[in-house]
Structure 1
């Protein structure tokens, strides 16, 4: 049995990060491999202006204080802090992850990805700039990626911060590279001279709704809309519009993943329960990559709010537009909250979407089979 390591964003307290890590683990285990998650040493952020503190305690304290700055019910704020504090203890065991870090193990193959493992031009000191995420100093016989993403790191940013040469040199050491979006593919091709393979995010590739026995059935005695967005990213104007819209449609607003001004409930649940809540939702509003994916695999009416990247600020248009275009769902995107009513009223042809997903899943499984069984 081959020993395969996955290096990803698996320790991030985030539903999307967890579910993509769990999904990739399942996909690789289906190939009769023994899987373990591999950690990386966190380097200093490339963007130093307004970067987060390097001190873990200070970062946690600041995030806790930031939570109290958001406009949301106090009960939601306290529940959100408890959710973040307890996430690792509750859910990391599902991934086989322990408190002790697992650096540089000896492996038959190291798979880097999925998630934004290559998003190196940012100021988040939880991730920083780590060459290990580009395969440096690994102890594996074979080195590949699966659906790796540069996020909103672009060629221009790599050049601006003088990291293009180093990143290019490291990328050339991979035996095979798979990316999940066009921006990442363009960077890889430019820096290595080779076109990468395109694969969907593991949450789409692994058939959660039909194959995962951990997704429960959840019954609700009220009709609800899910607002899936990070705390602080939904503006007051957007929140007020959502509250009015939900009231008009006689829907409660369930906030998942972050607290929101307009939410009737903040849902603290397991990653698997998130999918159950999505499955029962009347509709979804999200501004995240995985919120869009959760909507797609549960066949929900949804609108994805696109945030534009400006300078070094975080945006999501690169990855969201690529994802939704790839599944022929670009009509679900908007930059204007007022478009939600019309977008969510349109029927999505999920039979067609599922046919596209089936084809993408076959490509992904063949990529993994070829690189892990060969």
Structure 2
């Protein structure tokens, strides 16, 4: 049996659908697995050791966004009420999609002992190797005994640089792994720089299934009776909302928007002709499927736009000069699949240009073959 170390419980559409795709990939190959449940129970020593983690720039940025969301809920009770509706939808999907769970390992010692029940343990994808999470020694599989196979599946650092003070520890956990694959080109370069190892760049788990296969996993359901633009922004940039409004005006289409995703956004109060909150990951996918155009700053919003052959525009969530930028995953996706021209460069009308999906799918097929070869070697070998 394989232990699966992924963030299946996080209320993020892309993250949860990526976790869903991961377990469905295992099931499609007849691989017995369970999702590892770990509850931290820090000792005094462990708490002291974790103090430097609080100074990590990526973690601080994530904590700040979470703080802004909590503050928004306090100031805007209606937002808090709507967000609770969204969380309930996530919970319902999660309980249905993720049922093969391990016993709950309470404390790191119990986790290390529990790992002995597996023939192999896999971790990935979705930024689980972010510098912010290194001290937990969970997603880097440091708790797994040496004799048990350790697999990284389309792993992601989520950043372009590893902080200098984490380079040795990062190299140490990488060298323990039996199989390493990365989701981003930059991630593969980082592994090479730290360990000297050449590791493959493979596809995000959501690409394990094509459009027709996803329709079997999550059946199509029409959500709107009229044509619309689907706007899915995790960031708070008001200029991006302005551009979507401009597109709506020029095309005469309505806007379906998912508001206040990672924080309260003042501009979202008036953004969108239709802004549902009762949206689980399956409904999210159907809203995207039914759109004439998709505008997003989300990595997985982009992935599903490609899978469903939509006309889309990618907006940078982070400034390229930001120390906490996570744009490298979008960079790799665009470069590897040949869709760099879908990145917003100032003219929203470019979204109406036709995408040569035959060429995109040719690039995708090459990467899919490489991905399948890696999966077969790591999981079935």
**Shared fold per TM-score greater than 0.5:** yes
What is the Cα deviation at residue 49 of structure 1?
A: 7.2
SS at match of 2:219: coil
Unaligned runs of 5+ in 1: none
- C-alpha distance after superposition, 1:310-343 (max 9, x if no partner): 454x323211111111000010113x4x42212x
Question: Using the alignment, how far apart are the partners of 2:259 and 2:97 within structure 1?
Answer: 19
Unaligned runs of 5+ in 2: 41-49, 106-110, 262-267
Question: Using the alignment, how far apart are the partners of 2:201 and 2:306 within structure 1?
Answer: 19
Question: In the alignment, which residue of structure 2 is the partner of 1:286?
Answer: 296
Match of 1:203 among 182, 203, 206: 206
Question: In the alignment, which residue of structure 1 is the partner of 2:275?
Answer: 266
Match of 1:130 among 127, 133, 136: 136
- C-alpha distance after superposition, 1:143-195 (max 9, x if no partner): 0101000011513xx21xx1110110110000010001111111111111111
Question: Using the alignment, how far apart are the partners of 1:176 and 1:128 within structure 2?
Answer: 19
What is the Cα deviation at residue 249 of structure 1?
A: 1.5
Question: In the alignment, which residue of structure 1 is the partner of 2:5?
Answer: 7
Question: In the alignment, which residue of structure 2 is the partner of 1:256?
Answer: 258
Question: In the alignment, which residue of structure 1 is the partner of 2:168?
Answer: 165
SS at match of 1:254: strand
Native 8 Å contact 1:92 1:98 kept in 2:
no
SS at match of 1:197: coil
Task: Give the TM-score, by structure 1 length.
Answer: 0.84
Change in CA separation of 1:11 and 1:219 when aligned onto 2, cut-off 3 Å: closer
Question: Using the alignment, how far apart are the partners of 2:195 and 2:282 within structure 1?
Answer: 38
Higher helix share: 2
Question: In the alignment, which residue of structure 2 is the partner of 1:64?
Answer: 70
SS at match of 1:371: helix
Change in CA separation of 1:355 and 1:60 when aligned onto 2, cut-off 3 Å: closer
Question: Using the alignment, how far apart are the partners of 2:18 and 2:160 within structure 1?
Answer: 20
Native 8 Å contact 1:76 1:266 kept in 2:
no
Moved more, 279-288 or 268-277: 268-277
Native 8 Å contact 1:308 1:316 kept in 2:
no
Question: In the alignment, which residue of structure 1 is the partner of 2:249?
Answer: 247
Question: Using the alignment, how far apart are the partners of 1:301 and 1:77 within structure 2?
Answer: 33
Question: Using the alignment, how far apart are the partners of 1:186 and 1:53 within structure 2?
Answer: 24
SS at match of 1:169: helix
Question: In the alignment, which residue of structure 1 is the partner of 2:230?
Answer: 226
Question: In the alignment, which residue of structure 2 is the partner of 1:296?
Answer: 306
Native 8 Å contact 1:305 1:333 kept in 2:
yes
Question: In the alignment, which residue of structure 2 is the partner of 1:28?
Answer: 26
Match of 2:355 among 333, 343, 348: 348
Change in CA separation of 1:146 and 1:45 when aligned onto 2, cut-off 3 Å: farther
Native 8 Å contact 1:5 1:109 kept in 2:
yes
SS at match of 1:364: helix
Does residue 215 in structure 1 map to residue 219 in structure 2? yes
CA RMSD of aligned residues (A): 3.0
Native 8 Å contact 1:206 1:361 kept in 2:
no
Native 8 Å contact 1:119 1:153 kept in 2:
no
What is the Cα deviation at residue 115 of structure 1?
A: 1.0
Change in CA separation of 1:128 and 1:62 when aligned onto 2, cut-off 3 Å: farther
Question: In the alignment, which residue of structure 1 is the partner of 2:161?
Answer: 154
- C-alpha distance after superposition, 1:258-315 (max 9, x if no partner): 4534222223322122222212101011111111111101111111012324454x32
What is the Cα deviation at residue 5 of structure 1?
A: 1.8
Native 8 Å contact 1:227 1:256 kept in 2:
yes
Change in CA separation of 1:217 and 1:87 when aligned onto 2, cut-off 3 Å: closer
Q: Aligned residues, how many?
A: 352
Question: In the alignment, which residue of structure 2 is the partner of 1:81?
Answer: 84
- C-alpha distance after superposition, 1:82-113 (max 9, x if no partner): 21355234424312266973544321111110
Does residue 318 in structure 1 map to residue 328 in structure 2? yes
Question: In the alignment, which residue of structure 2 is the partner of 1:174?
Answer: 177
Native 8 Å contact 1:19 1:271 kept in 2:
yes
1:87-106 residue pairs with structure 2 within 5 A? 87-96=90-99, 101-102=104-105, 103=111, 104-105=114-115, 106=117
Question: Using the alignment, how far apart are the partners of 1:45 and 1:63 within structure 2?
Answer: 24
What is the Cα deviation at residue 205 of structure 1?
A: 2.3
